[in-house]
Each structure stands twice: as structure tokens, then as C-alpha cells.
Amino acid sequence: MAALGDPRLPFGVLGGLALGVAAGVLATVLALPGARIEWEGVPVAAGTLAAPGESQASPVFPAPPAERAADRHAPPADPLPQLLEPGPYGALPRIAPDGLTPLLAYARTDPAPPEGVPWIGLVVRGLGLSRRHTEAALALPPQIALAFSPYAEALPAAMRAARRWGHEVMLGLPVDTGDPLVDPGPLAVVPGAPEVEARLLRLLARGQGYGAVLLAHADGSAADSLAPVLAQLRGRGLGIVLAPPANPAAATERVSGAGVQAVVVLDGEPDPAAIDFAFGRLEAAALKTGAAIGLMDGLPLALERLAQWLPGLAHKGFALVPPGRILQRLGEGP
């Protein structure tokens, strides 16, 4: 199973979407107040981390409206027991005995658009640290995946709410690249460290029912040092997205052991023109490689620009595709 950007990516196709309806949902979301969504690099004392399933950290999230609850293309609301195994820090994702992978099991099943249309996937990341931002993200179009911070409390409840609203779910994995300007927090994976496997298992046990992971600050330049981590993630049947730095000038394509990346940070610079330019870079990456994924923290400004950009996507010849489907096309097996 390959990370996003593998050169094997075909110029395939996937489900047509009602983008006008999606824009209406976004307009509703923009009415919600809120500040910037925080990302994985939030230092948290290890003793304050809530254990998965802790009742005191299980808030009740709003139920989806009837049309979202009846979405037949949505992933299963509850984690599938056959995709879990015991671990030292809690249940861990695994490939089922019959070969079913978490990536496939928790992916949306939207129908395919016309053949030859390049794919664009979107991920809102860093969720779970603010209930307000998490609830705003739930109301986004269901084809947009939601990635949760491992530092968030009540991850199982938040992830279940996201699946009930029809979203694919990802788990954010912070990576310590040695950059003094980035604090990935105490749970971060440190490439090459003796305890790297233990840290990875602890991170993976933070949530359940996710089909992919989002490695923060792990663009192509860091992928080689993460080879053992990537191998274990693939061995568990998970899709992998390597997130480049938030620097909007960072290259969207880098050759590495994981392939050519096609990931664009959309709101690294909180400026309307910069965000619009990032959407253009996302389109260019999709045209060049056949598919690309855009990452955003979900700032109100970014959501406003998204609402302006999304309705014209099909007219430009692109299809909004659930990211899990893009990752499936990179390799059908671990």
C-alpha cells in the first residue's frame, strides 16, 4: 500500500458530486465563529492525555441531519472488530483475516465520475482540540476527510461523530524532524530513535475506526528516514499522507522512497490571494499526477475561499474525490 504520490497513480476516476449543495453547506459553516484550528504541535503533558474510551472525555456531538444519516456511501459509524487487535497501549488497527484493510473498510463508496477526470481530495486537519472547530468541520461536505490530532481528548467519540456525518477519518501522526521552530509535542515519532516503535503504537491506539494517517511535517525529504514507520503503517493496511511543511512555497512534488508527493497546504498563509493561489497549485498538481490532496486547518477565511472555489471545480474538469479513494488507487495491498 503506497503513500500518496506513488508514480503508479492512474489517471482514473471516481464519484460525481453535487458541488452546488456542498457550497451551500459551506456557507452555513462560515456563520460559525471561531479562531484558528490548532495543529498537532501542541505540547501536552503526558499525564493529561485521555485514554481512548474514557467516559469523562466522551462529549455528545450533534447528530447528523436525516439526509446525512441516510448516506449509503458513508463509512461504517462504528469501528469494525475484525480490524482491531490488542496492543500495549490499546486496540491497534490491523488487516482482517480475510484481507480487508482499514483503508478500504473506512473509505466512502461514492460512484465514479466520467473517465479521464483528474481527482482532487481535501482534508481538514488538526481536529479534536476545539469542539467548536470539530463541529464546524462535521458540517462540511462528506467527501472532505477529517484528520484528528492525537493530542485531542475523546478521540473515539469525535471520530465516530465524523463517520456518522459521512466523513472519512484520518489520525494525525506528529513527526519530530529536528526543526527548532516546530514543536510536535511529547507523542511525536522521532525517526531513528530506539523508542520509535513504542511511540508509534501509542499514537495508533489513540483512536479507532480510521483508514489512513496524516504524518505532519513529513514531506518527501523526511520519508526515507521514516521508512520503518511507513512499513509498519502499510503492514496494518493504512493509507498514508505525507504532509509537507505549512510553508506555502514548499514544493508539492518530491521524489523519495515513498514516491512523488502530490499534497498541497492550502491555508499556510492566511491571505485570500495566497489561499486562492494554493487552490490553483492543487489543480496543477492534480493535472500533472492524476490526483492531488489539499490540506487545510479550517480557518474561517480558508472555508470562505473554499466556498468560492468548490462550485466551479466540475466546470474546470476536476472531480472532488474522498481522499481514501485516492489512496486506494496507489496500491490495493500492504
Per-residue pLDDT of the chain (334 residues; tens, 9 = 90+): 546 644 333 333 334 434 544 455 455 444 444 333 333 333 332 333 444 444 444 578 999 999 999 999 999 999 999 999 999 999 999 999 999 999 999 999 999 877 899 999 999 999 999 888 899 899 999 999 999 999 998 899 999 999 999 999 999 999 887 777 777 888 888 877 888 899 999 999 999 999 999 998 765 556 677 889 999 999 999 999 988 766 544 444 443 333 335 899 999 999 999 999 999 999 999 999 899 999 999 778 888 899 899 999 999 999 999 999 999 887 633 3
288, 287, 292, 264: which is closest to 276 by C-alpha?
264
Beta bridge partners of 123: 145, 295
The structural domains of the chain, with segments of one domain joined by +, span: 19-31+79-328
Predicted TM-score (pTM) of this structure: 0.81
Q: Which residues have CB under 8 Å from 209's CB, separation 6+?
A: 75, 76, 78, 79, 80, 106, 156, 159, 160, 163, 169
CB 237 within 8 A of CB 93: yes
How far is CA 303 from its chain centroid? Answer: 16
The reply to whether CATH 3.20.20.370 applies to domain 19-31+79-328 is: yes
Q: Distance (Å, rounded) from C-alpha 137 to C-alpha 129? A: 12
Q: Distance (Å, rounded) from C-alpha 197 to C-alpha 209? A: 21
